[in-house]
């Protein structure tokens, strides 16, 4: 979810595919705050999501124009993560330690005529103590998928890297013989 939705969105917008894949890990990076026992707070707050990336965007805009497109892609990935996490995220952490949640629900009932009910629940709730075990496998799978995608997008580079590695391995006996 965190990885594929924003990546597909960027590709649909015809953002440079290599740049989109290269920066895609940023879309899952916020969840590594679980390692610090501050899941959906430390990595999901406005500081890493908006303040730091916007500073980079501004710096790129005024000082390093060749970074500009990449910095926008990075900002997009980070904000997309929090948007997808709106079910509960401590966006103002550490100023406000509680989680903000926003849950739109659509209820559909067909009894007594078709009836569509749209409801938005939102508010604050205390940051729950979250375990650190369940999330890593999910992110691991996402990063594995990204590795496969990167190998496809960067196939020419990957082939060259493999060939370089193979040449290195092949030259190893000669190298050793030269040494002794
Ligand atoms: Zn998250």
- What value does the mean pLDDT take over residues 79-107? 88
Using one digit for the tens of pLDDT, what is the confidence trace for 119-163?
888 888 887 655 444 566 677 777 888 888 888 888 888 888 888
Taken as a whole, the chain contains a residue count of: 180
106 part of a folded domain: no
**Residue 124 covered by a domain:** no
> Ligand 1 centre and the CA of 152: distance in Å?
27
What is residue 130's predicted lDDT score, i.e. its pLDDT? 55
16 Cα–ligand 1 center, Å: 25
* Mean pLDDT across 93-110: 84
In-domain check, residue 62? yes
- pLDDT band per the 50, 70, 90 thresholds, residue 109: confident
Q: Separation of 35 CA from ligand 1 center, angstroms?
A: 12
The neighbourhood of ligand 1, an ion, using CB within 5 A, equals: 31, 85
**For residue 81, how far is its CA from the centre of ligand 1 (angstroms)?**
6
Cα 41 to ligand 1 centroid, rounded to whole Å: 9
Higher pLDDT, 49 or 87: 49
Q: What is the distance in A from the centroid of ligand 1 to the CA of 3?
A: 11
Query: Is the residue at 103 inside a domain?
Result: no
Distance (Å) from CA 12 to ligand 1 centroid: 23
Average pLDDT, the chain: 86
Query: 14 or 115, which is more confident?
Result: 14
The residues facing 89 across adjacent strands are 100
Name the token pair of 4: 């594929």
In this structure, is residue 139 part of a structural domain? yes
Q: Is residue 125 part of a domain?
A: no
Please check whether residue 113 lies inside any domain of the structure.
no
Structural domain of 147: 4-97+131-179
pLDDT value, residue 111: 73
- The stretch 37-51 carries a mean pLDDT of 92
pLDDT band (50, 70, 90) for residue 27: very high
Q: How many domains does the chain have?
A: 1
**b/e sequence 96-125, b meaning 16+ C-beta within 10 Å:** eebbbbeeeeeeeeeeeeeeeeeeeeeeee
Instruction: Check pLDDT > 80 for residue 31.
Output: yes
Residue 146 has a CB neighbour count (10 Å cut-off) of 19
CA of 10 relative to ligand 1 center, distance in Å: 19
The structure's pTM equals 0.74
The answer as to whether 50 is a domain residue is yes
CA distance readout (Å), 66 to 26, 71, 78: 19, 9, 20
């Amino acid at each position: 979810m965190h990885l594929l939705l924003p990546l597909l969105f960027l590709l649909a917008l015809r953002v440079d595919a290599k740049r989109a894949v290269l920066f895609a890990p940023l879309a899952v990076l916020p969840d590594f705050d679980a390692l610090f026992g501050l899941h959906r707070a430390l990595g999901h707050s406005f500081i890493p999501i908006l303040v730091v990336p916007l500073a980079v965007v501004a710096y790129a805009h005024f000082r390093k124009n060749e970074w500009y497109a990449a910095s926008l892609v990075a900002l997009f990935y980070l904000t997309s993560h929090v948007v997808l996490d709106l079910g509960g995220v401590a966006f103002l952490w550490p100023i406000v330690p509680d989680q903000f949640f926003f849950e739109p629900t659509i209820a559909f009932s067909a009894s007594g005529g078709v009836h569509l009910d749209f409801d938005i629940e939102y508010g604050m709730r205390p940051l729950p103590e979250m375990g650190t075990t369940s999330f890593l496998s999910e992110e691991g799978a996402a990063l594995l998928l990204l590795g496969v995608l990167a190998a496809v997008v960067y196939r020419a580079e990957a082939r060259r890297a493999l060939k370089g590695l193979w040449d290195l391995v092949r030259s190893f006996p000669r190298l050793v013989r030269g040494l002794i």
